Structure 1
């Protein structure tokens, strides 16, 4: 695209913001960066899994352009009367740490990234529920590998399931999930009950070569929670 025909960044930011607002009643910095094509959603997922040190490493433009886009985003949100709501982000690892957005780690920049802008049309109660859902820790994801010859980068062991970390795959014992029991998909009611009773759980996925995506295979839950859920199902 020639410079003459290039869409101004302000218009691209506004279009991405409007689409996110229409879909979810709030807009985040990540929505903008993905919407304008500077950030891949797959990279966001790897960042949430702790495989990328900071989100800005995955953004495909220079820091000055990122700052400009964020300034335009805040101006758009303020002009539209949206409410600022700082959201807690938690990574998708057993340690449940706060992932870093910026290379600098500057608190003001981190807060800017964490801020969600909420539709003024929502009631106070709906805004509170929206903020609670947005701050909820994402589910842990465990992979059922296609290659059974993988090696844990921490201890050199292997197994039927693994969790991806920045240096490589890790076994469930090393990430502290080896005490959980596998519940295959298929019984939706039992899965819901076991998940609700378990203080810890992880989704088990496997890559489908035909569909070219990870698909859910089941759930890891605490053994007692599964036993309780099975007993409840059998009780008249």
Structure 2
């Protein structure tokens, strides 16, 4: 059994999760000027808001424990999000998630690149919202 291909610049739009990610990002950006990966997982129904709050309060040791998909799919979603954010010209901004005196963990492995992928917010650059079409001059 072969592994499915990883999302690349050449193929990321072909993944079945991509249209769901695009729609979820659009809804998030209609409410706020950044996309946090945890917000995307909530918007896609893969993370319950109550579980996210429990994790933020330090009651869940790692976020991946309460995400409702396998880790391969979660990683693929994070990668597809980054490609889509690039298309929208969103700027990556590393965010620190803390509860009291300790940093919150996203992954069981604690691997820095995985932690960074979950912790990176994607921020709208400039005055208009990402996804808005430029208005013609009046």
Relative to the length of structure 2, the TM-score reads 0.78
Partner Cα distance (1:22, 1:61) in 2: 25
Compare the two structures and name the one with the higher strand fraction: 1
RMSD: 1.6
**In structure 2, what is the equivalent of residue 101 of structure 1?**
106
User: Which gives a bigger RCO, structure 1 or 2 (Cα 8 Å, sep 6+)?
Assistant: 2
Aligned equivalent of 1:183: none
Q: What per-residue deviation string (whole Å, max 9, x for no partner) do you get for residues 122-181 of structure 1?
A: 49xxxxxxxxxxxxxxxxxxxxxxxxxxxxxxxxxxxxxxxxxxxxxxxxxxxxxxxxxx
Match of 1:112 among 87, 92, 117: 117
Deviation at 1:48, TM superposition (A): 0.8
How many aligned positions are there?
114
Matches within 5 A, 1:71-220: 71-91=79-99, 95-122=100-127
Structure label with greater radius of gyration: 1
Runs of 4+ displaced beyond 6 Å: none
Partner of 1:21: 29
The Cα offsets for residues 197-235 of structure 1, whole Å up to 9 and x where unpaired, read as xxxxxxxxxxxxxxxxxxxxxxxxxxxxxxxxxxxxxxx
Instruction: Name structure 2 gaps, 5 residues minimum.
Output: 1-15, 129-138
* Uncovered stretches (5+) of structure 1, i.e. residues with no partner: 1-7, 124-236
